[in-house]
Amino acid sequence: MPLTVVYLDAFLALNFGVNYALLACAGKLDGEPRAPGRMALGAALGAGYAALALAPGWGFLEHPACQAGAAVVMLLAAYGHSEKLLRTGGIFLVLSCAFGGLLLLLSLARGTPAGPGGLLGPGLGMRGILIAAALCYGILSLVLGGQFTHTRTGGELQNLTLSRGRRTVELLALYDTGNTLRDPLTGRPVVVVEGEKLSPLLPELGELDRQRLAHPVELLRDLHDRAGALGLQLLPYRAVGVECGLLLALRVDRARWGGGEYRDCLTALSPTPLSDGGGYSALIGGQEGS
């Protein structure tokens, strides 16, 4: 049997890149916000696990139970305790299986069988791995993309970026012409966001949980004179079953999505999820100045 030589630095770099791409693709297909630092941490943990599994005496790490545990750790590192972690993890699993299958197919087509432990990278080379990754993402984007598309009259999903100072948050938003909530002072459209998602924009407040957001008057009262400096205010609204309600609102520098942009706009912090299945976490709608 020919000896397979594996260079640790190249092996770690290759696994890190593949893990990062799979985690990012899973998040993109599921509409889950992707933080590059967390993606890198998850990818690094996966690469370290793969390298350790090749070490003498550590072959037990190739057991399916160990592999499943490693995948869970990677997902938790990349996405934290997301409400959609289970679904994102399922997509990550499908992507990983499809990627491995394409690697095996390309390996057999080239006549380069897998090495010890199913190692396919050295035989295929970087080009083969990149081709497999591109095919995997392209095919699954077509197959799975439609499973997470929200179909609603007058609405479509958009990638939304909210900016406040140097801090940004990326969300998946539904563009809904039925969202007519407006800033009472300027008349500009208001972006409605699940309040928990805006914690990175307001680190001064700590974790924005639903219980605190459900009582916006008390929350604003607790802040005393800091509310104005933080850009917080109360926003009145009406909805089905709610004649006159109040939401906590945050003024952001910019709200940008594929179809447009609002500057110096209000974002209303919803204490409850905006979609039943967690497919999106924000609502944009209306037209500037209309």
HEC string of 64-99? HHHHHHHHHHHHHHHHCCCCCHHHHHHHHHHHHHHH
d(CA 157, CA 249): 22
Q: Give the torsion sign (CA, 182, 186, 189, 190).
A: negative
> What is the reported pLDDT for 162?
93
Q: How many CB atoms lie within 10 A of CB 196?
A: 18
Distance CA 138, CA 145 (A): 10
Q: Are strands 155-164 and 242-257 parallel, antiparallel or unpaired?
A: antiparallel
Residue 210: predicted pLDDT? 79
Q: What is the model's pTM?
A: 0.48
At 31 the pLDDT is: 64
Question: How many CB atoms lie under 10 A from the CB of residue 90?
Answer: 14
H or E element at residue 220: helix 216-223
Backbone angles phi, psi at 267, to 5 degrees: -120, 125
145 in Cβ contact with 29 (< 8 Å): yes
Whether the Cβ atoms of residue 274 and residue 210 lie closer than 8 Å to each other: no
Asked if 157 and 172 touch (Cβ cutoff 8 Å), the reply is yes
For residue 238, what are its two tokens?
């009406």
Residues 249 and 255: their CA atoms lie apart, in Å, by 14
Q: What is the pLDDT of residue 155?
A: 47
Distance CA 233, CA 266 (A): 9
Which residues are paired to 284 by β-bridges? 175
pLDDT in tens, the chain (290 residues): 454 555 667 677 777 878 888 888 787 776 666 678 888 898 899 888 888 887 778 878 778 888 888 888 988 888 877 667 787 888 888 888 877 776 666 666 666 554 444 444 445 555 656 666 666 666 665 655 544 544 433 447 788 999 998 899 998 888 777 777 888 887 888 999 998 888 888 887 777 777 888 888 888 887 776 666 777 888 887 765 555 678 888 889 999 887 688 888 889 988 888 876 567 888 887 555 44
What does the longest C-alpha to C-alpha distance in the chain come to?
77
- Residue 284 — φ and ψ, nearest 5°? -125, 150
Q: Map tokens 């509310």 to a residue.
A: 227
Strand partners, 267: 191, 250
Gap between the terminal Cα atoms of the chain? 73
Asked if 205 contacts 226 with a C-beta cutoff of 8 angstroms, the reply is no
The DSSP secondary-structure symbol of 189 reads B
pLDDT score at 7? 62
